[in-house]
Structures are given as structure tokens and as C-alpha cells.
Amino acid sequence: MTDDSAALWVNGSVARLQGMPDDERLLDTLRWRLGLKGTKEGCRTGDCGACTVLVDGKSTLSCLTLTREVEGGSVTTIDGASDDPELKRVSAAFTAAEALQCGYCTPGFVVALAGLLKERGRSAPVEELMDGLQGNLCRCTGYAAIARAVALAREDAP
């Protein structure tokens, strides 16, 4: 590979990227190079959580992460939810709890919560998980429905 190329695993498949500038954000790589529009662009300053993805299983703000920083790593986006049991389960919990309205923030919440559950386990208290989601903002639903979704996601089946 040449110096301007990069490779990373995205949703279980290798993505080989050419013409990769050193300062390209992971958010832009996912949305514009790879066409994965599920990861949303919100603030581009790390304040809203709409761009949350999992990098090697950990919640990561893709607007603050350079693609070069995760080169060779594994990135999971909401677009890969059908292949990830935890993402699929959390997504179903959000639907069952009606924790979405416009849906713009939902992918970030789902991915962030899946990451928290992978990290802390389903026995983590709802309050602890909600604290872990403080970096994710919603302007439509209010947080009561999101708290219900968090509680459902801790169960075996939403």
C-alpha cells in the first residue's frame, strides 16, 4: 500500500481506502467515502454523540477521531446492526420503548448504549448506563423514553 492508502475493518468487511489525507475524520470516511449514512453528523465538536461508532468495541465519537488513528482496527456503525447481536437488541429496545421521534440522534444512542453494555454488562444499573450516555443529546423525545429503552436493553429480549 502507498502512503496515502489506509485499511480498516468496517462492519465486518475490510475497507481499503485510497487518497486518504492524514487529517480526515472517521465520520467523513464513513459517510462520504464508504456511503454509511447511518452515522450522523451533528456538531462536529464531540458535544452531541450523533456520530458515535464502536472502535474495537468501545464507543468512539467519529467526528473527533482521525481515520488514521483507527487504521487496522475494527469499526462498527449502526449500519452494521443486523450483523451485531448487541446492536440489534438495543435497537429493538429503542423501538419497543418508542424512544425515537425524528430519529436523528437514535443511531448514536443505540451504538453508545451497545458499547456500554458490552463494556459494563447488562447488570449495570440503569442510572449508571444513563450517566454513560450523557454525551448523547436528543432534542425531540425527552429522556424518559430513552431511560425506558435502556432498561429494556438490559433485559434478555426487548
pLDDT digits (tens, 9 = 90+) for 101-150: 899 999 999 999 999 999 999 999 999 999 999 999 998 877 999 999 99
The answer to whether the beta carbons of residues 62 and 115 sit under 8 Å apart is no
Instruction: Find, among 30, 18, 90, 91, the residue nearest to 66 by Cα.
Output: 30
Kindly state whether residues 87 and 75 are assigned to the same domain. Answer: no
Summarize the chain as % helix, strand, coil (round to 5). 40, 15, 45
CATH number, domain at 89? 1.10.150.120
Tell me, yes or no, whether 1 lies in a domain.
no
Cell numbers representing residue 80 in the block: 452494521
Span 11-42, pLDDT tens digits? 999 999 999 999 999 999 999 999 999 999 99
Look up the pTM and report it.
0.93
Kindly state whether residues 70 and 16 are assigned to the same domain. Answer: yes
- Domain's final residue, options 35, 62, 79: 79
In total, the chain counts a number of residues equal to: 158
How many domains does the chain fold into? 2
The residues, ordered by sequence, that sit 6+ positions from 50 with a Cβ below 8 Å of its Cβ are 39, 40, 41, 42, 43, 104, 105, 107, 108, 136, 137
- Domain's final residue, options 27, 45, 79: 79
Residue 128: per-residue pLDDT: 96
Residues 121, 123, 126, 127: is their CA dihedral positive or negative?
Answer: negative
Range of the domain at 40: 6-79
